[in-house]
Amino acid sequence: MKKFLYVALLAVGVVVMMTPPVMAQEEKPFTIHGEVRFRGDYINNTRDFNDNNDDGGLVFPYRVRIAAEGKFTKNVSTWIEIHHAAFAGNTGPFQTGQSADAELYQGNMTFDQLWSKNFSLRIGRQEIVAGNELLLGDLDFYTGISHDGAVGNWKLKKVNVMVWYTRPTDNAFSFASSPLPDFIFVPPSFGGGVQHFLGGYATWTFNKTQTFDVYLMDFIDRGFGGAPGGGGNFQTVGARYAHDTTGTGFFWDVEALGQFGQFESAALGSSGFDVDASGKALEGWFGYSIKSGKKIHRFYGRLESASGDKTNTNGKNEGFIPLFGDVHNRLGHGDWFQMSSNPTNLNGGVPGGGTGIQGLSAGYTGYYNDRHEFGVAFWQYKVAEENGSTLGKKLGTGTDVWYGFNYSRNVSFTASLSQLSPDDALTGTGPGTFNDNVSRLYGQARLRF
């Protein structure tokens, strides 16, 4: 933590020192932003589903961020953000925390009205968030997701178009043994650990409360055994239609996508054969909102579905590849499962591997006087593909109860209790198997400025 504070203060100091004298006379050329988040998180029975064994644990994850936003001219700005995320507690002599030191989370430049009054370009490390964060999210409940690359935006009257190119992993270049310090070369095994991620995302807004999104994303992995499939080039195409309301009426959010191309490629990987990608995912919310004074009551149903990989289809991977989405509360506040071909690691994972997931939920969320939020949700989980298993499709049922309190504009508190009752597709059957409830209880405090 001391290292984080030192690095953060150093970064702010550097920004201030770099400010030109003329700019120093302007009013607030730099604005400081930040976040402090601390959570107590208790999880029990995730390893064996057996109440007789003590495998519960209480941890205290935290995340601290500090950012400097600089506006140099009317159309040029920068965002420099450093963060540190770890678990509280002493893990060794004179050492606090359990992760790496503070790191650069975002560092980018934005050029507005570049070539056109409607176009902006952001270059550097940055978050990329779109839609309901199924494929592009910030993962702010945990440790965040940022991308290295360039993002362009066209903001038209009713349409916003975002395009990007990033490098999730880049190990292609190495420094040569040369007297020139900036001389680089491509090693013989070109492509080792190199990934390209590019795409476009368009959003139409109409009637002020409705949006329609379409997108195309391309992931190229020249990894020779790296993620996601040991070399491949696959595309993800999808659409989303959403309508929200702050009054009385229906609301919904529906998104469907498919993947194609090559999950593994003989040309890009070391496997020596091609594997086609054909994963699918579907997400749907539909509900009714009732407004009464300063209170809003929302009743809804949810569907979350990610395809699994069938074991009887050689040369094809039907499992959904999740890319860079936000996982928290996608399938409940407990985060027992994720939208993926391999949906969980509970008790070692689902027997048989890439089964996919289907989650159905019915829930209620109430907002009271802009300060209080209370909700409850019931879940039913199934595998998408049995793949010859005799255990059936049922993974289990779950319950979420949560409460949120806005102490002020910048400070909020959240508490959540989630419980999962596992079923045969998750626990297995026969001697030595258990199906006791899994629990997660957390309380979180968050300050943002």
The pLDDT-based confidence of 267 (bands split at 50, 70, 90) is confident
- Of the two residues 100 and 297, the one the predictor is more confident about is 297
Q: What pTM, to 2 d.p., does this model score?
A: 0.86
Range ranked top by mean pLDDT from 69-78, 87-96, 251-260: 251-260
Buried b (16+ CB within 10 A) or exposed e, 157-168: eeebbbbbebeb
Cβ contacts of 155 within 8 Å, gap of 6 or more: 118, 119, 120
pLDDT at 94: 43
Asked if residue 225 has pLDDT above 70, the reply is no
pLDDT > 70 fraction of the chain, expressed in percent and rounded: 83
Among 106-110, 266-270, 298-302, 401-405, whose mean pLDDT is lowest? 266-270
307 backbone φψ class: left, alpha, beta (φ>0; ψ -120 to 50): beta
* pLDDT beyond 80 at 19: no
Residue 109 and residue 378: Cα distance in Å, rounded?
A: 44
Reply yes or no on whether the pLDDT at 10 is more than 50: no
Q: At 418, list the tokens.
A: 């989630």
The Cα 264–Cα 370 span in angstroms is 49
Q: How far is CA 436 from CA 49, 397, 421, in A?
A: 5, 12, 7
Report the distance separating Cα 346 and Cα 43, nearest Å: 11
**Nearest-angstrom CA–CA distance, 432 and 69:** 57
At residue 16, φ and ψ (nearest 5 deg) are -65, -40
Please name which of 67, 34, 5 lies closest in space to residue 448, comparing C-alpha atoms.
Answer: 34
Residue 27, pLDDT > 80, answer: no
Question: Which pLDDT band holds residue 326 (cuts at 50, 70, 90)?
Answer: very high
pLDDT classification of 93: cutoffs 50, 70, 90: very low
d(CA 238, CA 81): 31
Residue 115: exposure state from Cβ atoms within 10 A (0-12, 13-18, ≥19): exposed
- Asked if 118 and 155 touch (Cβ cutoff 8 Å), the reply is yes
Q: How confident is the model at residue 271, as a pLDDT?
A: 60
Task: Considering only residues 10 and 66, tell me which one the structure prediction assigns the higher pLDDT.
Answer: 66
Taking alpha carbons only, the member of 128, 140, 58 closest to residue 329 is 140
* Model confidence band, residue 97 (pLDDT cutoffs 50, 70, 90): very low
Q: Render pLDDT for 382-428 as a digit per residue (tens, 0 to 9).
A: 999 988 788 889 999 999 999 999 999 999 999 999 999 999 988 88
What is the three-class DSSP state of 207? coil
- pLDDT at 92 (0 to 100): 46
Please name the residue that has the structure tokens 């159905």: 360
For residues 213-232, give the mean pLDDT.
76
With H, G, I as helix, E, B as strand and everything else as coil, classify residue 424: helix
Find, among 260, 123, 257, 145, the residue nearest to 201 by Cα: 257
Element (H, E) at 110: strand 103-112
Tell me the percentage of the chain whose pLDDT exceeds 90. Answer: 60
Q: If we measure between CA atoms, which residue out of 304, 306, 302, 168 comes closest to residue 236?
A: 306
pLDDT band at 231 (very low <50, low <70, confident <90, very high): confident
Please say if the pLDDT value at position 206 is more than 80. Answer: yes
25 pLDDT above the threshold of 50 = no
Q: Could you count the other beta carbons within 10 Å of the beta carbon of residue 250?
A: 11
User: Is the omega angle on the peptide bond into residue 228 within 30 degrees of 0, that is, cis?
Assistant: yes
Is the pLDDT at 17 greater than 60? The verdict is no
Greater confidence, 13 or 420? 420
The percent of the chain in helix, strand and coil, each rounded to the nearest 5, is: 5, 50, 40
Q: If you average pLDDT over every residue of the chain, what do you get?
A: 85
Residue 254, both tokens:
């529906």
What is the structure's pLDDT at 44? 92
**CA atoms of 320 and 255, how far apart (whole Å):** 14
